[in-house]
Amino acid sequence: SFLGIIFIISLFFGYINSIVSVQALINERNVFYRERHTKMYPVISYVLGATMSEIPYVLLSSSLLYTIFYLLVGLNKSLYAYFSGLILYNLFILQATYVGHVLASSLSSVPLALLVSTFVTAFGVLFCGFMIAIKQIPVYFEFLVNFSPNYYLFNGFVSTQLFCECKVDPNPVGEPTCDGLQACADVCDMDDPGCAIFFVPAGEGITIPINVWQFIEEAFGFDHRPEKMMLALMLFSVFFVILNVLMLTFLVKAKR
């Protein structure tokens, strides 16, 4: 399904990028400790260097993969949907990469880092809104959605692909109307996949019309705020970079 494809993006590629740098960073960690012991450079310089060096690689590889995937699957053809999704995807891959940096800095071996990365990925996937709709998550777990990077990618990507500005009137009789009994063709872009209308059961023998975006809102609890999702993913990246600095600073002091 369409949502399943987007879900696979956040699951598979996010996990791969969180572990791809673990091996290299763990292997060079002893070199860092030796150079730090001689006070060649501060911890923050090392972390910022590792952080900045990832950006060109991530942007190039992610953009290329995203573009091929986007065209191959045949997603929304509008430039807004394409570039919004591209920004969201790159930000998500960056924060996933920085998760790998934190794991490499704080854990003793590659197998242990991979194990923890699996749990981190599972948490993000569980609370992204696909396997369990946001509205169906128990109230005492709802706050955990805010800590799932996958949620911000999934919500943002789905909304940029399927958002529709008009609402179908819940009238079970006659031709479907939109935005207060207006003809849907007059107020909606019916070529937009999010504006496609279908019928859902509303009782015995009764069906009501609804468009795809209305269904997404009601069934998954998503909203159309891609800028918020981009900002959240940026903040995740900043958080993991700061956490990496703190972890390495602590470990350097512990080894003295």
Q: Dig out the tokens for 135 from the structure.
A: 């509205």
Residue 129 Rama label (left phi>0; alpha psi -120 to 50; beta) = left
pLDDT for residue 109: 81
Chain position carrying tokens 């369990």:
132
Angle between helices 149-162 and 212-220 (to 10 degrees): 160
Burial classification of residue 169, based on how many CB atoms lie within 10 Å of its CB (0-12 exposed, 13-18 middle, 19 or more buried): middle
Residue 241: which of 30, 22, 13, 44 has the closest Cα? 44
DSSP 39: T
pLDDT for residue 245: 92
Sign of the CA dihedral running 141, 220, 136, 169: positive
DSSP 147: G
DSSP 108: S
- DSSP, collapsed to helix, strand or coil, labels residue 150 as helix
Q: Would you say how long the chain is, in residues?
A: 256
Residue 210: which of 194, 222, 186 has the closest Cα? 194
Alpha carbons 140 and 201: distance in angstroms, whole number? 30
- DSSP, collapsed to helix, strand or coil, labels residue 40 as coil
Chain position carrying tokens 């955990």:
144
Q: Dig out the tokens for 70 from the structure.
A: 């986007």
How far are the Cα atoms of 8, 112, 212, 213, 255 from residue 181, in angstroms, in the given order?
Answer: 38, 60, 18, 18, 72
Alpha carbons 40 and 34: distance in angstroms, whole number? 9
Angle between helices 226-254 and 149-162 (to 10 degrees): 160
Q: Along the 256 residues of the chain, how does pLDDT read in single tens digits?
A: 667 777 777 677 777 777 777 877 887 887 887 887 788 888 898 899 989 988 998 899 889 988 988 888 888 888 999 999 999 999 999 999 899 889 888 887 888 888 888 888 889 888 988 888 888 888 889 899 999 999 999 899 989 988 988 899 888 777 888 888 888 888 888 888 888 888 888 777 788 889 999 998 888 888 899 999 999 999 999 999 999 999 888 887 776 6
Residue 234: which of 90, 44, 111 has the closest Cα? 90
